[in-house]
Amino acid sequence: MALRVLPRKAWRNWRRSADLRVPLHSTEVEDASRRFLLYGALPLWVLPGLADWWMHRRTRIEHTSGTKESAVHALMMSEAGAPVLMGLLARVNPLVLSVMGGAALAHGATAVWDVSLAVGEREVRPIEQHIHSFLEVLPLTALAFTACLHADQVRATLRGGPGPQDWRLLPKEHPLPATYLAGLAGAVVCGVVVPYAEELWRCRRAASAEPAVSTASGLPTAPDVSGVPAVPAVSAEGSRR
């Protein structure tokens, strides 16, 4: 079954076809839509992601919601990254569109879970909530433009994908230029992967350090309600000494 879905022979020569041309000055609706998707929606997606990471850092996520929320962020990046990677490399067909639609729903549900975790542990400022609105709408925007560019495949998906190639992960007939893929990959690594990996590392380091500090002091810690690291609770008898 796996070999039917992912034909290896087709992927061995996926870069040998001529690259897809995206005319920069064409006024055709298809060309303009593809330009917006490739050079607008996808690259701009990195900016609110980076801004959201900065807001987490400002509110000291490692000392509040910690590793739990950071792991949810990693889950959301996976939900967004997998369908984007498929759309960039694979031929858009009912299989790819179904994965994109399912991932968009999962991403939206996880976003609600993420905020519900955050508001109980740390301050979620209005600007961060506004940043979240971009992170929620851009995946749907990318999906909508992809559907418009491949209306025939949307119809095939709604009909259950009756074609022999509808449920196979095939390479694009004309792949995107290697320079574009490399540039987008560099932007994603620098603007998303590295910052959120640093966030997860910072949260895990703080989680490991807090028990050690508590054990070394031999004193209980007061509950953290201010968004700053907890401080040892000193008894009145100890303060008189």
Domain parsing of the chain, residue ranges? 2-240
| Mean pLDDT score of the chain | 87
Which pLDDT value is given to residue 176? Answer: 95
Which pLDDT value is given to residue 240? Answer: 45
* Tens-digit pLDDT profile for residues 32-65: 999 999 999 999 999 999 999 999 999 999 999 9
- What's the rounded mean pLDDT across residues 161-170? 86
Q: Can you tell me the distance from the alpha carbon of 172 to that of 57, in angstroms, rounded to the nearest whole number?
A: 39
Q: Judge whether residue 23 has pLDDT over 50.
A: yes
Which pLDDT value is given to residue 229? Answer: 52
Which pLDDT value is given to residue 211? Answer: 66
DSSP secondary structure letter of residue 143: H
Which pLDDT value is given to residue 162? Answer: 80
Q: Judge whether residue 103 has pLDDT over 70.
A: yes
Contact call for residues 228 and 86 (beta carbons, < 8 A): no
Which pLDDT value is given to residue 233? Answer: 47
Q: Can you tell me the distance from the alpha carbon of 33 to that of 38, in angstroms, rounded to the nearest whole number?
A: 9
Q: How confident is the model at residue 199 (pLDDT cuts 50, 70, 90)?
A: very high
Q: How confident is the model at residue 236 (pLDDT cuts 50, 70, 90)?
A: very low
Which pLDDT value is given to residue 225? Answer: 46
Helix extents (H) in the chain:
2-5, 8-12, 29-36, 42-44, 46-58, 66-89, 94-119, 126-149, 151-158, 178-188, 194-217, 236-240
Q: How many CB atoms lie within 10 A of CB 227?
A: 14
Q: Judge whether residue 222 has pLDDT over 70.
A: no
* Tens-digit pLDDT profile for residues 7-16: 777 788 888 8
Quote the tokens at residue 41.
Answer: 């929606």
Among residues 83, 87, 120, which one has the least CA distance to residue 104?
83
Cα-Cα end-to-end distance for the chain? 74
Q: Can you tell me the distance from the alpha carbon of 167 to that of 98, in angstroms, rounded to the nearest whole number?
A: 10
Q: What values do phi and psi take at 86, rounded to 5?
A: -65, -40
- What's the rounded mean pLDDT across residues 23-29? 90
Q: Can you tell me the distance from the alpha carbon of 89 to that of 85, in angstroms, rounded to the nearest whole number?
A: 6
Q: How many CB atoms lie within 10 A of CB 62?
A: 24
